[in-house]
Structure 1
Amino acid sequence: MQISPYSKPEFNPYGENDSEDVAAPGPWPAPVATAPLLARLQLPGSKSLTNRELVLAALANGPSTLRWPLHSRDSALMVQALKTLNTEIKEVPGDGAYGPDLRITPAELEGGVSIDCGLAGTVMRFMPPVAALALGPVAFDGDEYARHRPMRPVIDALRALGVDVNDDGRGALPFSLYGMGAVEGGELSIDASASSQFVSGLLLAAPRFTRGLTLRHTGERLPSLPHIDMTIACLRARGVTVDSPEPGVWVVAPGEIAAIDLTIEPDLSNAAPFLAAAIVAGGTVTIQGWPDVTTQVGADLETLLPQFGATISRGDGDLTIDGGRGIRGGASIPGLDLDLSRGGELAPAIIALAALADSPSRIVGIGHLRGHETDRLAALAAEINGLGGAVSELDDGLAIDPRPLHGGLWKSYDDHRMATAGAIIGLAVEGVQIDGIESTGKTLPQFPKLWHALWGPSLT
């Protein structure tokens, strides 16, 4: 079946007036698969690329247009943050399936404002270096849990660059800075062990620093390196000179950021639950527009999911997964030992599959997920165990010993990837109810609609 993407004349990324896009109040009954799949769908644009390109477009030497951008809570927060600093961002007609294009016109950045980061790591980590280029005070805050997310490397880095920051010693939100209209730049060392976003945020603003930036990571490990590669690729595409003379060191030359028009790739990490669905239900799922070359970590699904016994094929710009009979059809899938340090955002979907496997799994390299939208390691262990599973926390990951699961309430903790992990398990286990499915609006507001449409008459 071909899944029709959500669109309407007056675009609304949250779908408040569209009953098909919004789950009813209360826990969301996770659909159970009763037949193999034959589905083909198109996903909205990448959150990681959309928010990086919004920042670069706001700092560029002229107007830029983003075609097929993501429209979600995270991207809306970034748009509003940049508008607050005096950037002009307008919706313009386009041929994207999920909303209008965005036209970004840079202007002199102005302070004297407050920025709401919500729960968006890209906003809270990317925007402070940008705000330091404005003239005047800028205050930052966000959702309640956002105040628990690591921010000290950003705050310490800005201070080392000569920016006046007031955080009352918290090393976290809320805090404020006083922009002087310019940042000198130069050499800087930070520990980005908790998030690659600390590096990306500084690199994105660095071309506008008077002396550019030589940035050195001092920690023992650096998670999610593909996201830094993505940042570098975005910078280079706009004419910025970026070098990495050795691992953990990046040199950005000062200079203009070129204004360009570009098309945002579909979000490959958001493809994870839909592709995992084929392994649970059996049958095939095709994702349209899968790029041949990309810096998105979601591309790793092409090699990760076959380890669960699925078959991946490519053709005509699409990617198709064949789950065979699927778990619901009587197939078994093996447990795995995986290091997901390259792409921790894929871990919730992989761990959901591991909980349905027929042998134990160890998923490591994801200790940094304790500082994401929620403590994802503790949350995944608690929710799987609450359905009868046996998951234990490791220093750097989770050990999953599969057990027969039963229905029950699955808490999302306001975390979009927790919600979609619960939906994957709910395909195989009757009676799973997800508390907070609306959290998927962070990066994929259409998830409930797409998830239901994926199954059509095969749903119970």
Structure 2
Amino acid sequence: MTESSVHTAHWPAPYASGGVDATVTVPGSKSVTNRGLVLAALAAEPGWLRRPLRSRDTLLMADALRALGVRIEETVSSSSAAVGATGGTGEAWRVIPAGLHGPATIDVGNAGTVMRFLPPVAALADGPVRFDGDPRSYERPLHGVVDALRELGTRIDDDGRGALPLTVHGGGALDGGRVEIDASSSSQFISALLLSAPRFNQGVEVRHTGATLPSLPHIRMTVDMLRAVGAQVDEPETGGEPNVWRVSPSALLGRDLTVEPDLSNAQPFLAAALVTGGRVTIPDWPARTTQPGDALREIFTTMGGGCELTESGLVFTGSGRIHGIDVDLSEVGELTPGIAAVAALADSPSTLRGVAHLRLHETDRLAALTAEINGLGGDVSETADGLRIRPRPLHGGVFHTYDDHRMATAGAVIGLAVDGVKIENVATTAKTLPDFTEMWTEMLKA
């Protein structure tokens, strides 16, 4: 496939005439890569990230840290050069911490991890740091981080919006202490404060005051990664006070971290096995992980597949039938678009619950999924906190992405079973999976 064909306005989603049978190597986790970059930048000594994801979101994070004075050196061995832009076994980033400083300007794109994780880092910098990004980033909630940093003593200019664009006036240090936030709209508010907390003079005590807390696995990921670099963290999961996280001040170690495959980005390939009644193997699937994508093993098995964790990786096999599902996705909301795509092809209705917060993601994912699946002849309706999906025969048509990478991959999944689906702006997958179209067509060739 040529470079120009990848970026055409409407990409013809390949139709599968039979069951796929392929091994798909998925690049590194975005969530792990960007957390690893932040922790390495705040460490007391240099560290390594091996097999990082190279995508728009992670390159924005690396460039932002460079703007603050951190050195990040990228190396690729000749043996892995053919793997492509998403990173392979021979790729590594050497992160060399330095004194954080402004003035600086940071482009967050539409990356939630960049726009939320870096204002606390900027509070530790010496000088002003301006944050800006894509138009959609102005609409995404940031108030939890902004309000918390103000409560901890940071001056932030945002014209009262609680959103981008804004300027953080770093003072070179931050006392830290106790802070209350409502993280109902994004667990990243909590992760943002925890990641920088070891560098606060008093550490931090974060109390979540909201009624709900989405994406708990991502907070567990943050805590595990903090502990791996020497931080002391008290959390509800290990007997701490409910909805309270405490991080003590400490120097962070420079570690050698190998990034796990991105299990959420494995979703469309596993869905391909389910939809086509085929088989897909994902190498290096971890036996234990905090990644939300690990829940796909149970969810897609319930929907009609079967899986086995082997020495070769996770082997997922479709049965040739797809069943509807009633499932609470509050902890794994990012998986919703792919699950909705499969549910639209099922033999019975589905109810996806606990994901009201998806209205504030890269786009309003609930409205987008409803509009696009219904545009192909489906029957999807929004609920207060999710979707109801009643399968109907679908037809071809344009599947719009709203500049949302997971909408693009969801459309591709439907296209496997529905001839004539065309994905508008499939290039938006570069946010987390730059080689998606090549990987997709190679899977089908195999």
> What are the within-5 Å matches in structure 2 for residues 64-79 of structure 1?
64-79=47-62
Q: 1:430 aligns with which of 386, 398, 419?
A: 419
Answer whether contact 2:268 2:338 (CA < 8 A) is retained. Answer: yes
Q: 2:20 aligns with which of 34, 37, 40?
A: 37
1:124 and 1:192 map into 2 onto residues whose CA distance is 15
> What are the within-5 Å matches in structure 2 for residues 205-354 of structure 1?
205-244=196-235, 245-324=240-319, 326=320, 331=321, 333-354=322-343
Letter in 2 for 1:115: I
Equivalent residue number for residue 428 of structure 2: 439
Q: 1:400 aligns with which of 377, 385, 389?
A: 389
Q: 1:366 aligns with which of 350, 355, 372?
A: 355
For normalisation by structure 2, the TM-score amounts to: 0.96
1:105 and 1:20 map into 2 onto residues whose CA distance is 34
Q: 1:187 aligns with which of 156, 178, 199?
A: 178
User: Shift of the alpha carbon at 1:196?
Assistant: 0.6
Equivalent residue number for residue 46 of structure 1: 29
For normalisation by structure 1, the TM-score amounts to: 0.93
User: Shift of the alpha carbon at 1:281?
Assistant: 1.0
Letter in 2 for 1:230: M
Letter in 1 for 2:421: V
Q: 1:169 aligns with which of 152, 160, 167?
A: 160
Counterpart check, 1:420 vs 2:395: no
1:334 and 1:319 map into 2 onto residues whose CA distance is 21
Letter in 2 for 1:276: A
Q: Deviations over 1:178-213 (max 9, x none)?
A: 000001001011000001100001000000000000
Gaps of 5+ in 2: none
Q: Percent sequence identity over matched residues?
A: 56
Q: Deviations over 1:407-454 (max 9, x none)?
A: 000000000000000000010101100001001000000100000000
2:218 and 2:229 map into 1 onto residues whose CA distance is 17
Q: Deviations over 1:319-362 (max 9, x none)?
A: 011113x3xxxx3x221111001100111110101111121111
Describe the SS at the equivalent of 2:443. helix
1:238 and 1:302 map into 2 onto residues whose CA distance is 29
User: Shift of the alpha carbon at 1:267?
Assistant: 0.3
Letter in 2 for 1:285: V
Answer whether contact 1:412 1:434 (CA < 8 A) is retained. Answer: yes
Answer whether contact 1:414 1:436 (CA < 8 A) is retained. Answer: yes
User: Shift of the alpha carbon at 1:41?
Assistant: 1.5
- Two-structure CA RMSD over aligned residues (Å): 1.2
Equivalent residue number for residue 131 of structure 1: 122
Q: 1:152 aligns with which of 124, 143, 166?
A: 143
User: Shift of the alpha carbon at 1:84?
Assistant: 0.3
1:305 and 1:254 map into 2 onto residues whose CA distance is 42
Gaps of 5+ in 1: 1-17
User: Shift of the alpha carbon at 1:159?
Assistant: 0.5
Q: Deviations over 1:365-419 (max 9, x none)?
A: 1111111000000000000011111111111001111111110000000000000
User: Shift of the alpha carbon at 1:272?
Assistant: 0.4
1:407 and 1:192 map into 2 onto residues whose CA distance is 39
Letter in 2 for 1:42: T
Equivalent residue number for residue 189 of structure 2: 198
1:155 and 1:67 map into 2 onto residues whose CA distance is 32
2:41 and 2:263 map into 1 onto residues whose CA distance is 25
Q: 2:399 aligns with which of 410, 413, 416?
A: 410
User: Shift of the alpha carbon at 1:26?
Assistant: 1.8
Letter in 1 for 2:180: S
Describe the SS at the equivalent of 1:269. coil
Name the stretch that deviates more: 88-97 or 59-68: 88-97
Answer whether contact 1:22 1:438 (CA < 8 A) is retained. Answer: no
Describe the SS at the equivalent of 2:265. helix
Q: Deviations over 1:243-284 (max 9, x none)?
A: 111221000000101101110000000000000001111110
1:26 and 1:177 map into 2 onto residues whose CA distance is 38
2:234 and 2:174 map into 1 onto residues whose CA distance is 20
Number of aligned residue pairs: 434
Describe the SS at the equivalent of 2:382. strand
Describe the SS at the equivalent of 1:285. strand
1:31 and 1:223 map into 2 onto residues whose CA distance is 34
Q: Deviations over 1:58-107 (max 9, x none)?
A: 00011111000000000000000000000000112346542531000000
Letter in 2 for 1:58: A
Describe the SS at the equivalent of 1:319. strand
User: Shift of the alpha carbon at 1:19?
Assistant: 2.6
Equivalent residue number for residue 66 of structure 2: 83
1:289 and 1:358 map into 2 onto residues whose CA distance is 32
Answer whether contact 1:22 1:448 (CA < 8 A) is retained. Answer: no
2:234 and 2:7 map into 1 onto residues whose CA distance is 50
1:215 and 1:24 map into 2 onto residues whose CA distance is 43
User: Shift of the alpha carbon at 1:317?
Assistant: 5.0
